[in-house]
């Protein structure tokens, strides 16, 4: 019996190993507590702050037109500071989205409260929030919470975990990831450098608009420009390949801060140290994205799609995303059904929308400078598909392959199911993360709760 095909592995270096535990990088304090924003009384206020001077910062924000007040406040602060910040405040239970000018003023007030309590400037505070859309922040409770929380902030893993817990809404787990690397100091000796991340989502919240938040801290020393140059492609390969139900929220935010407190020398773009730091940050981002996918609403398993042999990496990522985003594929995965027809159909749809967009914009597909305009990124006669290690389709060998259905179904009865596609066209590689589509997802999102 033929099983999984040999995969031409991507040329990119292997990501370092990740530990799923709370470790706070040097130069930061963290904490979290219940401030009463959530009716449940669960932790809903998180604070992260630098110990010394400002940290270099980079961010990725939701492109949603309805970007919430905290998103716009963080964008403005980072633009004004050119990428420096001293604190992050997160409120759970109220998104402060679609609240107009009053909501913007509320968010500035939150920044003032944090700045006052920490003795820093309001423009040095970055904001995260998640929760109900269209309701105002309970400023009095937030103020009391900040006053109570600041004295509790700690340079400990417990403080970091408390902050991560206060980020949660309906998440069933606290999502943590940390990588330790070694970078040289001024005298050439190696220093331990930590990259630690926390994330929430994509569990939905009352009224259940999916929100995905993440903070990554490091004690490496790096410029805002280098952090941005590292974060953008890392997010493209990880969070932008994560799909639970295709909705992009008003509050999605990823923040990356570097304190420089590790003792290692500043990391310069283009050096081996920069490459090492970038891999560590991407490893943390990827692991958090996988934790988020596995904890998707109603999900019973993590669905990973790995695509090799694409014309380029962007094509590979597009195909992987199309497979993981397909409701039909997700439902089949839930049913442990090795339904390769749905996978082939989803792959056959990848980038078709892209081509339509270019055509609508009057762009000649053949003149586009990238492959985005090429409609066919998959050739049915070259495509191979393997589900949970079992080859089920080989275009070059006539298409459908005989396979052990019972064994494949058994292999699909696992906490992580991997679908692999080899396109046979080039060396492009990409992956995407999602989860199965379950009746529980529908139930949780259709029950009347607002």
- Which residues form the catalytic set? 211
Site for a second copy in 125-144 (CB under 8 A): 132-134
The SS3 call for residue 226 is helix
Nearer to a second copy, 225 or 381 (CB): 381
CB count within 10 Å of CB 19 equals 14
Instruction: Say whether residue 439 binds a second copy (CB under 8 A).
Output: yes
Question: Would you give the binding string for a second copy spanning residues 244-273, x where CB under 8 A is met?
Answer: -xxxxxx-----------------------
Residue with tokens 């995260």: 128
Instruction: Say whether residue 100 binds a second copy (CB under 8 A).
Output: yes
Question: Would you give the binding string for a second copy spanning residues 285-324, x where CB under 8 A is met?
Answer: -----------------------------x----------
Contacts of 330 (CB under 8 A, 6+ apart): 303, 324, 434, 435, 436, 437
Per CB under 8 A, the list member of 9, 80, 139, 442 interacting with a second copy is 442
* Residue 257: strand pairing partners: 57, 217
Per CB under 8 A, the list member of 15, 269, 275, 331 interacting with a second copy is 331
Task: Please report, to the nearest 10 degrees, the dihedral formed by the alpha carbons of residues 313, 319, 324, 329 taken in order.
Answer: -160
Q: Which two tokens stand for residue 441?
A: 């997802």
Site for a second copy in 373-432 (CB under 8 A): 373, 375-381, 393, 395, 398-400, 409
| DSSP structure string for 3-69 | -PPPP---SSPPPPP-B-S--PPTTEEEEEE--SSSTT----EEEEEESSSPEEEEEEE---TT--H
**With contact defined as beta carbons under 8 Å apart, do 193 and 27 qualify?**
no
Site for a second copy in 24-83 (CB under 8 A): 63-67
Tell me how far, at minimum, the Cβ of 18 lies from a second copy, in Å: 28
Nearer to a second copy, 16 or 134 (CB): 134
Tell me how far, at minimum, the Cβ of 395 lies from a second copy, in Å: 8
Q: What are phi and psi of 43, to 5 degrees?
A: -55, 135
Interface region with a second copy, contact rule CB under 8 A, candidates 36-44, 151-159, 287-295, 367-375: 367-375
Q: Which two tokens stand for residue 371?
A: 């492959």
d(CA 64, CA 366): 30
The SS3 call for residue 129 is strand
Interface region with a second copy, contact rule CB under 8 A, candidates 140-148, 173-181, 188-196, 342-350: 342-350
Instruction: Say whether residue 242 binds a second copy (CB under 8 A).
Output: no
Interface region with a second copy, contact rule CB under 8 A, candidates 49-57, 160-168, 276-284, 433-441: 433-441
**With contact defined as beta carbons under 8 Å apart, do 152 and 117 qualify?**
no
Per CB under 8 A, the list member of 175, 334, 384, 420 interacting with a second copy is 334
Tell me how far, at minimum, the Cβ of 312 lies from a second copy, in Å: 11
Q: How many residues bind a second copy (CB under 8 A)?
A: 88
């Amino acid at each position: 019996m033929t099983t999984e095909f040999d995969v031409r592995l991507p040329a990119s270096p292997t990501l370092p190993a990740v530990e799923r535990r709370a470790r706070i990088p040097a130069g930061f304090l963290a904490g979290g507590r219940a401030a009463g924003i959530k009716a449940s009384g669960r932790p809903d206020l998180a604070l992260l702050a630098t110990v010394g001077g400002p940290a270099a910062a980079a961010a990725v924000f939701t492109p949603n037109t309805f970007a919430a007040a905290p998103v716009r406040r963080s964008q403005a602060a980072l633009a004004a500071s050119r990428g420096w910040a001293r604190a992050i405040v997160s409120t759970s239970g109220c998104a402060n989205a679609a609240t107009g000018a009053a909501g913007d003023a509320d968010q500035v007030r939150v920044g003032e409260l944090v700045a006052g309590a920490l003795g820093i400037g309001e423009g040095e505070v970055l904001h995260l929030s998640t929760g109900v859309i269209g309701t105002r922040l309970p400023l009095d409770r937030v103020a009391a919470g900040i006053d109570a929380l600041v004295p509790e902030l700690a340079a400990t893993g417990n403080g970091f975990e408390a902050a991560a817990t206060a980020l949660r809404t309906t998440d069933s787990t606290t999502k943590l990831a940390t990588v330790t690397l070694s970078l040289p100091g001024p005298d050439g000796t190696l220093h331990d450098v930590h990259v630690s991340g926390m994330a929430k989502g994509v569990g939905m919240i009352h009224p259940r608009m999916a929100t995905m938040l993440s903070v990554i801290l490091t004690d490496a020393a790096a410029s805002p420009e280098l952090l941005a140059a590292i974060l953008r492609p890392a997010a493209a390969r990880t969070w932008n390949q994560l799909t639970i139900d295709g909705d992009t929220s008003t509050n999605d935010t990823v923040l990356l801060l570097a304190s420089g407190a590790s003792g290692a020398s500043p990391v310069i773009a283009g050096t081996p140290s920069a490459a090492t730091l970038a891999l560590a940050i991407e490893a943390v981002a990827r692991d958090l994205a996988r934790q988020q996918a596995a904890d998707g609403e109603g999900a019973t398993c993590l669905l990973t799609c790995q695509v090799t042999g694409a014309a380029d990496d962007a094509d590979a990522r597009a195909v992987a995303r199309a497979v993981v985003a397909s409701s039909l594929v997700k439902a089949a995965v839930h049913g442990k059904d090795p339904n390769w027809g749905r996978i082939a159909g989803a792959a056959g749809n990848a980038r078709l929308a892209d081509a339509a967009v270019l055509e609508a914009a009057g762009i000649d597909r053949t003149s586009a400078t990238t492959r985005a305009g090429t409609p066919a990124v998959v050739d049915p006669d070259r495509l191979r598909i393997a589900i949970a290690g079992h080859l089920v389709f080989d275009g070059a060998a006539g298409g459908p392959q005989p396979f052990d259905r019972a064994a494949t179904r058994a292999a699909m009865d696992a906490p992580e199911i991997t679908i692999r596609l080899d396109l046979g066209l080039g060396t492009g590689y990409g992956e995407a993360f999602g989860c199965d589509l379950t009746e529980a997802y529908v139930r949780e999102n259709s029950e009347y709760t607002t």
